[in-house]
Structure 1
Amino acid sequence: MAETLVDLTGKSCLVTGAASGIGRATATLMARLGARVVAADVDAVGLAHLAADHHDVLCVVGDVTEPHDVRRMVSTAVERNGRLDVAVANAGVLPLSDVLETSPEEWDRVMAVDGKGMFLTCKYAIEVMQANGGSIVCLSSISGLAGQARQAAYGPAKFVASGLTMHLAVEWAHRGIRVNAVAPGTIVTERVRALKDEPGGPEYLDQMARAHPLGRLGEPAEVARAIAFLASDAASFITGTVLPVDGGYLAR
């Protein structure tokens, strides 16, 4: 029988930001690969649609900027499955603005969700993974590995994701906890589709499509497959990496 490279059968998995986009694609794929998935998001309506489409996915409404909510997401996975094997720290917001357009309030919001939210997800996942090990996958970005225009808040927050990944990988390897990240290029999520109706959005999308050597934007399912690989035992000797899933953008 041919070996299945990515097999998540029986794995207890938590995916944040799972109501749409990359998070939803990841939760759906992991469930198909045999995982027992807890999907979390602040978007209750989006989670309800996910639950209706995938009855085997348990959904939890919560805000990743609130420590109590993140603890509840993690504890739900542990109570349901007896442990937590995989955590995908995906929740994030994506404003499109330069430094002059970015208000202090917007900076704080992006750092709270994309920075603090990722920190809390990793923190409380590691707290329960210490006994048996586990795998964490953070969502960075091409903006977390290289500079981009009109990413004054989002880009620095994704540098937090890349840095957190590397530091935690070194810090927790001795406990069998692997920490990796994916760095997507521009992906056709609901948020990215909405950019076409924002000032400068259509021009930005056209520019980004041309900037990816493969000549197109990516799809959420393409990022989800990379996340599932890093989360799985097939990546057992990989930790501390930030894997671009970017159609060649960073190779230019």
Structure 2
Amino acid sequence: MDKKIALITGAARGIGLATAKLMLEAGWAVAMVDRDGDELRAASKDLSGAKAFQFDISEPEQVAEMTAAVLASFGKINAVVNNAGVADFSPLEATSFDSWREIMATNLDGTFLVSQAAIPALKETRGAIVNIASISGLRASTLRVAYGTSKAAVIHLTKQQASELGEFGIRVNCVCPGPVKTKLAMAVHSQDIIDAYHDAIPLNRYGSEREIAEAILFLCSEKASYVTGQILAADGGFDATGVGLPALRR
């Protein structure tokens, strides 16, 4: 197969699905991985060049099966996008250890497991890994003790991977989305929250799933052939503002 192959986790919705669609447009073939089988099949059924793989990437045995299944179907892997993630926005005192472990198991363990399993295939293609962290991994916030910590760990994992895998021609980078206009965000963000985000973001708006996907595609592509170990905040300038009092910008 001449097409490059991307393995995207958490591909049934949101940023993962947007990335799958964009990579298909760019001429890639895509292995779409998600544990939500019904949603995954619905998302992938009309996407020519994509194939659905229902696996839970927090389970080592399933990751091994998933990697074997993708290679059996496509024969190679040129890029891995570790996008799958879960969150629980609870106060520190109310965060149960079970919730903590579930978030770490998917967001951190899953990213480690999928990357590790794909290394032999990526060595053959001198491919790329793009880990999806979050602005919450770069700057602390309330109600994100588990989520933010898991994403901060993914950021450092990216640097560890880049340092070790560079000699094999494997590039590893990380995208940290800021506030993104997803169906879920719009369902749970009140107008006060939306206004507060707009005030805190220099571009004065939420990002789109497509805009995050564009950053991911760039890092997977040969256009980023000399870029590795980098953390790209696709956040409208949110992280750059620091305290960023809106009144001081006017």
Determine if the TM-score, normalized by the shorter chain, exceeds 0.5. yes
Distance in 2 between residues matched to 1:57 and 1:77, nearest whole Å: 11
For residue 78 of structure 1, what is the aligned residue in structure 2? 71
Report the RMSD for the aligned CA atoms in angstroms: 1.5
Distance in 2 between residues matched to 1:236 and 1:166, nearest whole Å: 16
Compute the displacement of 1:101 (Å).
2.3
Distance in 2 between residues matched to 1:149 and 1:245, nearest whole Å: 21
Residue 217 (str. 1) matches residue 206 (str. 2): yes
Which structure 1 residue ranges, 4+ long, deviate > 3 Å from structure 2?
A: 201-206
Compute the displacement of 1:149 (Å).
1.8
* Structure 2 counterparts to residues 225-236 of structure 1, below 5 A: 225-236=214-225
Query: Under a length normalisation based on structure 1, what TM-score does the superposition of the two structures give?
Result: 0.90
- Tell me the secondary structure at the aligned position of residue 37 of structure 1: strand
Query: Under a length normalisation based on structure 2, what TM-score does the superposition of the two structures give?
Result: 0.91
Equivalent residues, number: 240
Gap change, CA 1:10 and 1:108, over 3 Å in 2:
same
Residue 174 (str. 1) matches residue 167 (str. 2): yes
- Tell me the secondary structure at the aligned position of residue 94 of structure 2: coil
Kindly, what percent of the aligned residue pairs are identical?
38
Distance in 2 between residues matched to 1:18 and 1:228, nearest whole Å: 14
Residue 251 (str. 1) matches residue 240 (str. 2): yes
Compute the displacement of 1:62 (Å).
0.8
Distance in 1 between residues matched to 2:172 and 2:230, nearest whole Å: 8
Does the 8 A contact of 1:74 with 1:84 survive in 2? no
- For structure 2, the residue ranges without an aligned partner over 5 or more in a row are 242-250
Distance in 2 between residues matched to 1:42 and 1:81, nearest whole Å: 20
Compute the displacement of 1:203 (Å).
4.6
For residue 3 of structure 2, what is the aligned residue in structure 1? 10
Amino acid at match of 2:218: F
Compute the displacement of 1:220 (Å).
0.6
Does the 8 A contact of 1:26 with 1:227 survive in 2? yes
For residue 54 of structure 2, what is the aligned residue in structure 1? 61
For residue 248 of structure 2, what is the aligned residue in structure 1? none
Distance in 1 between residues matched to 2:36 and 2:73, nearest whole Å: 21
Compute the displacement of 1:46 (Å).
1.4
Gap change, CA 1:43 and 1:106, over 3 Å in 2:
same
Match of 2:182 among 186, 189, 195: 189
Amino acid at match of 1:189: T
Compute the displacement of 1:228 (Å).
0.2
Worse-superposed segment, 23-32 or 71-80: 71-80
- For structure 1, the residue ranges without an aligned partner over 5 or more in a row are 1-8
